Structure 1
Amino acid sequence: MYAIVEIAGHQFKVEKDQRVFVNRLATEEGKKVDFDNVLLIADGNNITLGAPAIDGALVGAKVLRHLKGDKVIVFKKKRRKGYRVKNGHRQSLTEIVIEGITASGAKKAAPKKEAKKAEPKAEKAAPKKATGKADDLKKIEGAGPKAAEALVNAGFETFEKIAAAKPEELSTVLTEASSRLAHIVTDTWPKQAKLAADGKWDELQELQDRLDGGIEK
């Protein structure tokens, strides 16, 4: 038996006793966690599809440890422009072990009906973007390109503004921007941003070396 389940914004094919590395979860090590966004369950030739998720299905797992992935180096260069930017990123991960797949109460998807003509939706107002030149927010540990874009669109375009914000406020910005950013830990972002705003790059690097999943050791 195996299942297709969405965990922390990504889909995984999982089986019992399988170990999986997922984006950082808020659950403590040694604790159990259930995932109910199960898209498919296959038991031999019996396959159940969700619409989009299967009602009543659960994938149970146990958190083994929190860790960081391998460092990824992103280097950008523009010919004849003198433009060179090098950034490093280590994704915060959680290792889990699948303890069971439960399909009780699962309902198979109903036959597709003829789609109704979609009514035109009202255009959403574009988010207000910050004016002026933004700092390179990707220098903050854990802030990738998408997270940096979300911060800028919410008006946090400089290290100084992030340093004055609360971690909870920054987490709310990321969650509202995309569910794929909701798992990011922002506890040390104001502290990191303060060092960057003051130009204390060596101290910032020392702090980032002590971080584990966005949390200071």
Structure 2
Amino acid sequence: MYAVIVSGGKQYRVAEGETLKLEKLEVATGNTIEFDRVLLVAAGDDVKIGAPVVEGAKVSAEVVSHGRAKKVTIVKFNRRKHHRKQMGHRQWFTEVKITGINAG
């Protein structure tokens, strides 16, 4: 059984027992969170597609940790001007473990 959820403006395909990194959520480590914006639920040949969401479907997950991703380097360069600027960015994320999928 798997589902497609929306979190942080992005869509994720999740299955029970899976661990994934989402955009930062303001939830303490160890707490449970429920995603009610479920776009699709599939169990074998039985597929429910929402318009836009599947009514009554929920995906529950446990917050494992918070952290920052690897650094992305941004380089800005102007030719012939002896100008170079280098910056970096590390995006915050929340790591969650999917504990259950309720098809509704």
Q: TM over 0.5: same fold?
A: yes
Range class of TM-score, shorter chain: over 0.9
- The reply on whether 1:41 has 2:41 as its aligned counterpart is yes
Structure 2 counterpart of 1:66: 66
Residue 18 of structure 2 aligns with which residue? 18
Correspondences of 1:72-151 after superposition (within 5 Å)? 72-104=72-104
Question: Aligned-pair distance for 1:15?
Answer: 0.1
Give, as a single letter, the amino acid of the residue that structure 2 aligns with 1:98: I
Report the alpha carbon displacement of residue 77 of structure 1 after superposing the two structures with TM: 1.1
Q: Which has the higher helix share?
A: 1
Higher Cα radius of gyration: 1
Deviation, 1:35, is 0.5
3-state SS of the aligned residue for 1:98? strand
The two structures have a TM-score, normalised by structure 2, of 0.95
> Which residue in 1 is equivalent to 2:57?
57
Matched letter for residue 10 of structure 1: K
TM-score, normalised to structure 1, is 0.47
Identical-pair percentage: 39
Instruction: Tell me which of the two structures has the higher relative contact order, counting C-alpha pairs closer than 8 angstroms and 6 or more residues apart.
Output: 2
CA shift digits 1:106-155 (9 cap, x unpaired):
xxxxxxxxxxxxxxxxxxxxxxxxxxxxxxxxxxxxxxxxxxxxxxxxxx
Matched AA of 1:46: D
Residues 51-96 of structure 1 deviation map (CA, whole Å, 9 limit, x = unaligned): 1111111110000111111111111112123332211101101110
Stretches of structure 2 lacking an aligned partner (at least 5 in a row) = none
Alpha-carbon distance in structure 2 between the residues aligned to 1:84 and 1:6: 38
Q: How many residues align?
A: 104
Hey, which bits of structure 1, 4+ residues long, moved more than 4 A?
A: none
